[in-house]
Chain A
Amino acid sequence: DGGITQSPKYLFRKEGQNVTLSCEQNLNHDAMYWYRQDPGQGLRLIYYSQIVNDFQKGDIAEGYSVSREKKESFPLTVTSAQKNPTAFYLCASSTGPVDEKLFFGSGTQLSVL
């Protein structure tokens, strides 16, 4: 079955540590997105990529980095520069521009030790 796989489901970060969240899709989608979800707030866009080897910052990119070396994969690194990383992170993909149907992964809950 086609879909988006995020891993791990739960992740813990120590002070000063970088951690990487995985997002893989087998839907042959060009566009991929990373969102952050905090309690009581709407999803906020961290980074997005419309095509391989290209990505753009979203609204809250500071403290995060991404890569898009393969169409199927869009990993997100939460760096030590992100001072408040505890949140639920969601990866999404679509066939093209944002007005297409979105497919979401099951999310990764990141917590700081």
Chain B
Amino acid sequence: KNEVEQSPQNLTAQEEEFITINCSYSVGISALHWLQQHPGGGIVSLFMLSSGKKKHGRLIATINIQEKHSSLHITASHPRDSAVYICAADNTDKLIFGTGTRLQVFP
């Protein structure tokens, strides 16, 4: 079993839909990262959080330390949100990456 699991692996949505991507981890962490990888391969760091909730524009990330679970939400999704979303658990020694969730948003 992977130490960081994401679900779903693939997600298809219509424009304006509310999107939720989940990340569960089994290791102790100091923080959790959410990253976005576009089709060209480049990765952008979206959030780093260690508790509670963070919001940036239409993106919201939450984390529940007791349940070892984090979610990334996208409100009013848009085709330009189509990308692979990756969560990574920081267990102080290193980052442990999930395998990613491929999101496609259609007009």
Contacts and interface: CB of A to CB of B under 8 A. Distances in A.
A interface, by DSSP: helix, strand, loop or mixed? Answer: loop
Contacts of A43: 86, 88, 95, 97
A83 B99 CA distance: 23
Contacts, number: 57
Interface in B45-65: 45, 48
Nearest to A43: B97
B45 A104 contact: yes
A109 B42 CA distance: 11
A104 B42 contact: yes
Contact of B42 (A41, A58, A101, A106): A106
A58 B94 contact: yes
A98 interface: yes
A90 B99 contact: no
A42 B85 CA distance: 11
Interface in A85-113: 88, 90, 92, 98-107, 109
B28 to A, nearest CB: 13
A104 B43 contact: yes
A40 interface: yes
Contact of A103 (B30, B31, B45, B94): B45
A104 B4 CA distance: 20
A45 B44 contact: no
Contacts of A105: 42
16 contacts: A42-B99, A43-B86, A88-B41, A90-B41, A98-B90, A98-B92, A98-B93, A98-B94, A99-B48, A101-B48, A102-B35, A104-B35, A106-B40, A106-B41, A106-B42, A107-B40
